[in-house]
Amino acid sequence: MLRTTLCLLILLPFSAQAQISPQQLDLLASETQPQVVEWRRWFHENPELSNREFNTSARVAEILTEMGLEPQTGIAHTGVVAIIEGGKPGPLVAIRADMDGLPVSEETGLAFTSKARGEYNGQEVGVMHACGHDSHMAMVLGAAQVLNSVKEELPGSVMLIFQPAEEGAPAGEEGGAELMLKEGLFAQRKPEAVFGLHVGFNQPHGKIAVRAGPMLAAVDSFKLVVNGKQTHGARPWNGIDPIVVASQIVLGLQTITSRQVDVTQAPSIVTVGRISGGVRNNVIPDSVEMEGTIRTFDAAMREQIHMRIERTARMIAESAGASIEFELKYGYPETVNDPGLTERMMPTLQRVAGEGGVVSVQPQTVAEDFSYFANQTAGLYLFLGNGEPGVDPQTIPSNHSPLFDMYEPSMELGVRAFSHLVVDYLQGAKQ
């Protein structure tokens, strides 16, 4: 009995030492930072459009292979996945980065400015990482290097997801998170939790922004054709004016979000972004075409708004003797931060960001296909400020701007956030 007790006393300090400490992770993140910057600059200078991330995918796979990992490629066309197998038994968690650039010609003047060209909607365009996906990849790779360095002590494993086509697959193609899942990403090994991070969106320098519950909106699009009857502009009574009807529909659609759904339940937006009809000032055309976007944060309200858009447009058109053709295209669902996971990981985020470093954020009306992952397992999605210290974030060029940039020292905070979230989750969030 005495011998057993002595053995336990000897083993307990060793077990405590085997815990991966926050200080250890921070040191590794600091050592990795120069490499993270180098990776980010390579990705920034060599962007590729959605479902065309061939060189990006190859570079990611090459870096992971150099770490001693065995990446799988070709998932959802160009996606890359690797797993860091922990040395101790435990759950699987995932961290995710998106890889695609945008059809934007860069104007930052950086030494590593993109000069890449691509084809978008049949046109030759400039290509730029104008949404920060270059830094997302670099930070996940940095976290991978940190976590891989301590894998023998990890009580669980880490799935690294490098996802293509977050900005949307080209017309007629599938892509992104939805296709990765469709091809079986979580079929054999499903993570208990998935973590994601996005830079920008006017967040303050050095801050991590988060909220429990709906974080980003669902996005859908619609196309409406108003069919009237062509006539001379001087004799409108001989026809049915689809331009006037379309104008009434635009105004009518605004009453959906302000008068027809419960505004206290969740915000929503219906925007008509394009309207086209007619070729001459004195000819009333046969038809007018309009397109718009819908943003919602509640699944039931989303369906209700879809129905009300078609009903409102149809009834306004019928009241004037016109008719409509309505086409709805579903986009990404809302991104919801799992309340339990958010609460569990909040001490981790507060430790990583320091006193006052975690800020609450209102639901954002932009959309993200991270939502597909978070619909399959508990998800936590964060924002990280991309601007320099002392600069008003409202004055910084926004995401999708040709002037968008990343203050590179902040990427170390992103690497630390990913690394600490994974380790704390796997170690039971023990401080």
Q: What are 241-299's pLDDT values in tens digits?
A: 999 999 999 999 999 999 999 999 999 999 999 999 999 999 999 999 999 999 999 99
pLDDT band at 27 (very low <50, low <70, confident <90, very high): very high
What is the C-alpha separation between 49 and 120, in angstroms, rounded?
8
Q: What percent of the chain has pLDDT over 90?
A: 95
* Shared domain check, 291 and 406: no
pLDDT tens digits, 333-346: 999 999 999 999 99
**Residue of 174, 183, 291, 408 marked catalytic:** 408
Q: Which long-range contacts (CB under 8 A, 24 or more apart) does 51-54 make?
A: 51/77, 51/78, 51/100, 51/164, 51/165, 51/169, 51/170, 51/173, 51/175, 52/78, 52/100, 52/118, 53/78, 53/99, 53/100, 53/164, 53/165, 54/78
* Shared domain check, 96 and 227: no
Q: Which two tokens stand for residue 8?
A: 């336990």
Whether the CB-CB separation of 189 and 83 falls below 8 Å is answered with yes
Whether the CB-CB separation of 241 and 250 falls below 8 Å is answered with no
Domain extent at residue 204: 22-216+334-426
Report, in angstroms and rounded to the nearest whole number, the Rg of the chain calculated over CA atoms.
25
What does the DSSP 8-state code read for residue 250?
Answer: H
Q: Which two tokens stand for residue 380?
A: 């936590």
pLDDT tens digits, 31-70: 999 999 999 999 999 999 999 999 999 999 999 999 999 9
* Shared domain check, 26 and 145: yes
Predicted local confidence at residue 18, as pLDDT: 75
Answer yes or no: is 12 within a domain: no
What is the C-alpha separation between 204 and 366, in angstroms, rounded?
18
**Residue of 48, 167, 178, 332 marked catalytic:** 332
Last residue of a domain, one of 330, 348, 382: 330
Q: What residues are paired with 292 via a beta bridge?
A: 222, 272
Check if 408 is active-site: yes
pLDDT tens digits, 104-127: 999 999 999 999 999 999 999 999
* Shared domain check, 133 and 37: yes
* Shared domain check, 341 and 306: no
* Shared domain check, 354 and 311: no
CA angle 375, 376, 380 (to 5 degrees): 65
